[in-house]
Homo-oligomer: A and B are copies of this chain.
Amino acid sequence: METGQRRTPCQSCPLRALERFRDFTPAELEFVARFKIGELHLPAGNNFLIENAESANLYTVLGGWAFRYKVLQDGRRQILNFALSGDLVGLQGTLMGEMQHSVEALTPVRLCVFQRERILEVYRNFPSLAFDLTWLAAREERMLDENLLSVGRRSALERAAYLLVFLHVRARALCPGRLEKVFLPISQQHVADTLGLSIVHTNKTLRKLAERNLIRWHGRSCEVLDEDGLRKVAGWYDEIEMHRPFI
């Protein structure tokens, strides 16, 4: 685990360049730059937030992938959602004191670290950023709603297709320049734990998608060959996503 001083000044934040993210005013930018107390570079597999622990900090993913999950006593694991660049992680713990889920780095990950104690300053001094915090929480809720619909009511095949489109859309939005293939850095075990399926049945389901030439699997990563085909299987209906905020 490598912790360190600020590496990426907010003023030249690479995320800001992406069309997807909203612009900051100079004052907002300056505030956020002071709000950020450091940067954390972690290897894949690191659990940087742990259930039942007081969460010391709030993080924004600056690069890499992570996932939120919960486990039952006997080890059954449910992945709740994934966090990609620009996503906020640890807000629940920041607001309510104790984490009720864990977060693990899926790939090597770079995190902006914000101090928990200073969250109130955001509300007192920057209403627009406070609004963005609520917006991000509402967006997370929306993703969870959709995921719950999947796990509760979609068939295994629909579920798998839906998840892959979902992740593919989110991943593509972060690398707008290159039109080359996007690989999703997940194993079949991650898919299983996200969809609430066993690893064996997940494998057989993904196999069907591969046989239809919709995806291809390469060890710990998934290549999406035909997003539209997956959408059909998933019953995906598009939604417009506007410029999103981030902190």
- Give residues in A with beta carbon < 8 Å to B: 68, 70, 72-73, 76-78, 80, 91-92, 95-98, 100-101, 120, 123-124, 127-128, 130-131, 133-135, 137-142, 144-149, 151-154, 193, 195-196, 235, 239, 242
Contact = CB atoms under 8 A, between A and B. Distances in A.
Given A148-B148, A196-B151, A133 B134 contact: yes
Most chain B CB atoms below 10 A, which of A120, A135, A148:
A148
Given A144-B144, A145-B101, A152-B196, A131 B123 contact: yes
Given A100-B239, A137-B134, A147 B145 contact: no
A151 B148 contact: yes
A234 B144 CA distance: 22
A31 to B, nearest CB: 14
A78 B123 CA distance: 35
A154 B120 CA distance: 37
Nearest to A148: B148
Nearest to A150: B78
Given A72-B149, A196-B151, A92 B141 contact: yes
A239 B51 CA distance: 12
Given A78-B152, A152-B78, A141 B144 contact: yes
B141 A141 contact: yes
Contact of A196 (B80, B131, B144, B153): B153
A111 to B, nearest CB: 19
Nearest to A77: B153
A24 B188 CA distance: 49
A128 to B, nearest CB: 7
